[in-house]
């Protein structure tokens, strides 16, 4: 959970000039180029933020931090250079994001830099209003405003027990130190450097190709590790930490209304997340590998288009740093008739950057319902997709799921596993389409 440390007002009437005067001379001119594509981390973050009611997702530390990691992955020499001079950037601690005046949509944010537990400098990130140019500048000297920032970050480390020098993006924004933004943003300052956006004086600067893509293609330089979906699902459903939460959702399923849990990589569940009649919004997904929820007696016993969209958000929340990557993401569903499915992400980080409008999701839901009605029509398909009581069977919901993925443009990007209870626990079956596009289960 994010903690807010309010350290009083920072009176920065002169910061707009003085921060520029104390900026270091580190330069990386080869990437100082404005690019037209939006930086992917910010584009997806702002889309999620606009849909989420969870206030915890509103701070920009996550896209700033992940953009920095993507830059360091592409330019490791810059990471080494900065660490040797100033220390490691701690992405778990940041200022709040600082906005411009009315009509100015730029964002400014500070991270501390540490050596041996001591804050040696602050690094400021600025994203332009169009979200297609980002730069970072390091600040370290005797200027009073910079010293103030360094001291405020240092005070946190002196008074709290934390893991320092960490670059784990899952923890981005865990601690937010509140400061006051510069008073005047139109002068030559930390916002614009000495020559405006694109000038050659920033420590790190560039567009989507530098902070989240390969050659401006819209992705980022990280490649997810391939995982065995069967083993991944077995670890989820049999984990001693996550299993009680999943079992509680099974009990809930027959009672109406949906609830859910977010689940961390070690299986630790979040607090119960109350949902609506047929939906659960998992909210801010930072720090969680996936989510589980129940469907209801009147709902369709399969993961829906909104569930698939939230799977993409869980994939992005992995951050692609070190031991975590997009392919770790999952979303599970249990239904009152014993149906139990888990979907795991099977694409790259770039594949998860698909942005659906609410109207598109609504349209997919409508298509989903129409297809379900068709599959349960004996006039169209006989008894192929229905049980003896006329309800949709496993083959039916599995065909529904794969047709929905294709409709959403995600064909081949998501794996599906069926979980069946037995006397000794759970049997996991991997569901794939055969040459006739018929869902076929294979026991893991």
- Residue 113's Cβ-count burial label (10 Å; 0-12, 13-18, 19+) is buried
Assigned domain for 216 exists: no
390 and 269, same domain (yes or no): yes
Structure tokens at 119: 């804050």
pLDDT in tens, 166-216: 444 433 446 888 876 644 333 334 554 443 333 446 888 888 888 864 433
Whether this prediction's pTM lies above 0.75 is answered by no
131 and 244, same domain (yes or no): no
427 and 298, same domain (yes or no): yes
Report CA 416 to chain centroid distance, whole Å. 21
pLDDT in tens, 269-321: 999 998 877 778 888 888 889 999 999 888 899 999 999 999 998 888 875 43
| Alpha-carbon torsion, ordered 388, 392, 397, 399, to 10 deg | 70
235 and 148, same domain (yes or no): no
Of 211, 245, 278, the one marking the end of a domain is: 211
307 and 190, same domain (yes or no): no
Of 167, 185, 211, the one marking the end of a domain is: 211
Range of the domain at 242: 229-443
Assigned domain for 184 exists: yes
CB contact set of 47 (below 8 Å; sequence gap of 6+): 355
275 and 410, same domain (yes or no): yes
pLDDT in tens, 231-272: 888 888 888 899 999 999 998 888 878 899 999 988 899 999
CA–CA distance, 126 with 106 (Å, rounded to integer): 7
pLDDT in tens, 6-34: 333 233 333 333 344 344 434 333 343 43
pLDDT band at 352 (very low <50, low <70, confident <90, very high): confident
298 and 155, same domain (yes or no): no
When divided into structural domains, the chain yields a total of 2
Q: What is the percent of the chain with per-residue pLDDT over 90, rounded to a whole number?
A: 36
124 and 253, same domain (yes or no): no
242 and 195, same domain (yes or no): no
Assigned domain for 398 exists: yes
Assigned domain for 14 exists: yes
Instruction: Give me the numbers of helices (H) and strands (E) for the chain, helices first please.
Output: 12, 17
CA–CA distance, 115 with 246 (Å, rounded to integer): 43
């Amino acid at each position: 959970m994010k903690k807010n440390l309010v350290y009083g007002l920072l009176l920065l009437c002169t910061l707009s000039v003085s921060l520029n005067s104390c900026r270091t001379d580190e330069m990386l001119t080869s990437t100082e180029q404005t690019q037209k594509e939006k930086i992917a981390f910010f584009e997806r973050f702002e889309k999620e933020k606009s849909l989420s009611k969870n206030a915890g997702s509103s701070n920009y530390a996550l896209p700033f931090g992940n953009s920095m990691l993507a830059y360091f992955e592409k330019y490791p020499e810059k990471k080494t250079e900065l660490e040797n001079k100033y220390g490691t950037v701690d992405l778990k601690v940041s200022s709040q994001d600082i906005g411009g005046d009315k009509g100015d949509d730029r964002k400014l944010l500070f991270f501390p830099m540490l050596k041996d537990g001591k804050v040696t400098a602050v690094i400021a990130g600025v994203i332009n209003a169009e979200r297609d140019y980002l730069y970072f500048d390091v600040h370290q000297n005797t200027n009073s405003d910079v010293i103030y920032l360094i001291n405020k970050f240092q005070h946190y480390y002196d008074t709290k027990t934390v893991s320092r020098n960490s670059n784990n993006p899952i923890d981005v924004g865990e601690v937010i130190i509140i400061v006051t933004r510069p008073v005047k943003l139109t002068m030559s300052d930390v916002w614009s450097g000495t020559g405006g956006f694109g000038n050659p004086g920033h420590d790190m600067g560039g567009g989507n190709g530098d902070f989240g893509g390969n050659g401006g293609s819209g992705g980022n330089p990280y490649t997810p590790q391939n995982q065995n979906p069967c083993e991944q699902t077995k670890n989820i459903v049999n984990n001693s930490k996550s299993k009680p939460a999943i079992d509680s959702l099974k009990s809930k399923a027959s009672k109406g209304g949906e609830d859910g849990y977010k689940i961390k990589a070690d299986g630790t569940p979040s607090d119960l997340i109350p949902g609506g009649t047929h939906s659960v919004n998992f909210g801010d997904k930072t720090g969680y590998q996936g989510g589980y929820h129940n469907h209801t007696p009147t709902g369709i016993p399969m993961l829906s288009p909104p569930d698939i969209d939230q799977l993409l958000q869980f994939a992005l929340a992995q951050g692609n740093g070190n031991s975590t990557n997009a392919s770790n993401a999952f979303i599970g569903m249990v239904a009152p008739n014993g149906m139990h499915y888990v979907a795991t992400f099977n694409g790259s980080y770039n594949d998860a950057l698909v942005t659906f409008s609410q109207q598109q999701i609504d349209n997919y839901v409508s298509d989903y319902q129409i297809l379900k009605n068709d599959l349960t029509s004996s006039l169209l398909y006989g008894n192929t997709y229905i049980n003896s009581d006329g309800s949709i069977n496993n083959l039916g919901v599995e065909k529904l799921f794969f047709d929905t993925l294709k409709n959403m443009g995600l064909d081949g990007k998501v794996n599906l596993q069926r979980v069946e209870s037995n006397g000794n626990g759970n049997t996991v079956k991997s569901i794939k389409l055969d040459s006739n596009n018929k869902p076929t289960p294979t026991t893991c």
